[in-house]
């Protein structure tokens, strides 16, 4: 198959490198920055185009959308109109405008879609998911999820003020940036029925987006979820704590470990990331999953329909914070 990668920033380069590692030979790339295009052509020995019009003339089979969030939807729609299967970086969009037409388009044309969900391929998160599914700690009543890192440290050497994360017009802000946390806790605990949130720009960072968010979720199961997201913490922090009637589960990204306590056994057990596991492995596994979906061997873990449901929760959090109220998730829209 012929792949077109639209966007050659850090995540676009990662996806190109992983496609190459997975044996994909026919890769084309496009970016508005000629410097970025030249860099990926030289680094990965792939072909590039100077415009999207030229790209469509090459008749790509699949498009990888790796541009700022506000451009995801128009470019994904354009690619789908040209018959491309889609891999869209998270989040699906920064608003719901135009999402439903894209959903109808990909369904009508029978296109395979996957929205970036690399945290679902992290060994620790996958292990927590398996423990929840096995009811290893009984009925789940609550979850606490956290992620935080100082925004200027995300891409050393780049001006953080110009990154999409810092700019409202590009769809930035910690809620959409950290949508992985919303996605994986919904993956584990099920549908969300209501959302409350406090958020704001609380730091002295030179950005026009929210840098801190505290989100409260009420799952349809009755469980309560607490999510803390920020651009502020000077040391990277990412964790998940699941509370069940028969025990508790704790995952810490930096420790590379899952620990869980069984009330029945009265002891702690642990799972450690496989020896030699590296960060890129979850992105590599994610892309391998996409290739298997294209081959019809697997179903997408997060297609555009599911990704819209995750987006609905994130946008509901924004509304809840702005209007200082609890927002109900529209179940009829599912």
Helices (H), the chain: 10-21, 34-44, 52-57, 72-81, 99-109, 123-133, 174-177, 179-189, 280-294, 304-323
Q: What is the pTM of this model?
A: 0.96
Range of the domain at 42: 3-117
Check pLDDT > 60 for residue 21: yes
How many domains, in total, are found in the chain? 2
List the strands of the sheet with 3-6, edge to edge: 47-48, 27-30, 3-6, 62-65, 85-88, 113-115
Same domain, 123 and 109: no
Q: How many CB atoms lie within 10 A of CB 311?
A: 24
Confidence of residue 175 (pLDDT cuts 50, 70, 90): very high
Please indicate, yes or no, whether residues 113 and 83 belong to a single structural domain of this protein: yes
Whichever domain contains 55, its CATH number is 3.40.50.720
pLDDT at 331: 56
334 has a pLDDT exceeding 50? no
Q: DSSP per residue over 19-84, as a string?
A: HHHTT---EEEE-S-HHHHHHHHHHH--EE-SSHHHHHHT--SEEEE-S-GGGHHHHHHHHHHTT-
Final residue belonging to a domain, choices 70, 102, 117: 117
Confidence of residue 330 (pLDDT cuts 50, 70, 90): confident
Cα–Cα distance for residue pair 149/230, rounded to 1 Å: 7
Phi/psi class of residue 127: alpha, beta or left (left: φ > 0; alpha: ψ in -120 to 50)?
Answer: alpha
Mean residue pLDDT of the chain comes to 97
Q: Backbone dihedral region of 23: left (phi > 0), alpha (psi from -120 to 50 degrees) or beta? A: left
Q: Give the Cα separation of 50 and 248 in Å (integer).
A: 53
Residue where a domain stops, chosen among 63, 87, 117: 117
Rounded mean pLDDT, 259-275: 97
Tens-place pLDDT, residues 122-144: 999 999 999 999 999 999 999 99
In a domain, 316, yes or no: yes
Same domain for 188 and 247, yes or no, is: yes
């Amino acid at each position: 198959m012929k792949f077109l990668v639209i966007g050659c920033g850090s995540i676009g380069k990662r996806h190109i490198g992983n496609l190459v590692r997975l044996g994909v030979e026919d890769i084309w790339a496009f970016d508005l920055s000629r410097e970025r295009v030249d860099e990926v052509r030289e680094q990965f020995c792939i072909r590039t185009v100077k415009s999207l019009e030229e790209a469509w003339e090459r008749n790509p089979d699949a498009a990888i959308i790796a541009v700022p969030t506000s451009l995801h939807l128009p470019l994904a729609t354009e690619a789908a109109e040209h018959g491309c299967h889609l891999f869209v970086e998270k989040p699906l969009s920064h608003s719901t405008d135009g999402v439903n037409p894209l959903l109808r388009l990909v369904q009508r044309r029978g296109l395979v879609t996957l929205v970036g969900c690399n945290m679902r391929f992290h060994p620790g998160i996958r292990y927590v998911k398996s423990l929840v599914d096995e009811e290893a700690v009984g009925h789940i009543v609550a979850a606490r999820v956290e992620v935080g890192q100082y925004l200027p440290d995300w891409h050393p050497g780049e001006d953080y003020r110009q990154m999409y994360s810092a700019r409202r017009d590009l769809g930035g802000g910690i809620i959409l940036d950290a949508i992985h946390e919303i996605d994986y806790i919904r993956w584990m605990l099920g549908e969300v029925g209501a959302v409350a949130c406090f958020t704001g720009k609380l730091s002295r960072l030179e950005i026009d987006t929210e840098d801190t968010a505290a989100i409260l979720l009420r799952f349809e199961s009755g469980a309560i979820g607490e999510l803390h997201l920020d651009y502020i913490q000077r040391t990277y922090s990412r964790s998940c704590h699941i509370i069940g009637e028969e025990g508790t589960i704790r995952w810490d990204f930096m420790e590379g470990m899952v620990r869980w306590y069984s009330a029945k056994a009265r002891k702690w057990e642990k799972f450690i990331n496989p020896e030699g596991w590296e960060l890129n492995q979850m992105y590599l596994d994610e892309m391998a999953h996409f290739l298997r979906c294209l081959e019809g061997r697997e179903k997408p873990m997060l297609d555009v329909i599911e990704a819209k449901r995750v987006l609905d929760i994130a946008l509901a959090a924004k509304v809840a914070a702005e209007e200082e109220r609890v927002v109900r998730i529209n179940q009829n829209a599912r």
